[in-house]
Structure 1
Amino acid sequence: MARHEPDDHLQSLYLELRTLMSALNRLHHPVYPGDPERIAQLEHDIAEIRKTIQERRRALTASA
């Protein structure tokens, strides 16, 4: 199995995903819960980033 070169765009998407998930985890604090609208927005943003990551991975696989 060939090893793929690192993809900077994909790595930046993963970094953004980790950042958003960390923020979402902080908003789900049991004692100090976050604003429900902010939680919903972060969940939406995370879903979009995941979709973009899947598309990028497909594009990289197709071009390999």
Structure 2
Amino acid sequence: MLKFKLFLTCMFGASTAQAHVGHLGDLAGHDHWVAAGAIGAAIALAGWNILKGKKDKEAKVEAESDEKLQDA
């Protein structure tokens, strides 16, 4: 019985130190707004790069068609 009590004491004592990093923002009062803002910024940046890539491709196609017209 003494071994069982010692085992339970050790298990419950160690379980309080197993917090994950996700709740450190709660302690500072930021909740999950910082993470939501970072995700939103990443989505906006990805969308901007996709649109920029489409414009670059369109400009390249126009330049190639202009070169073909000049060659003819």
Please, what TM-score do these two structures have when normalized by structure 2? 0.44
Which protein is bigger by CA-based radius of gyration?
2
Could you say which structure has the higher helix fraction? 2
Q: TM (normalized to structure 1)? A: 0.49
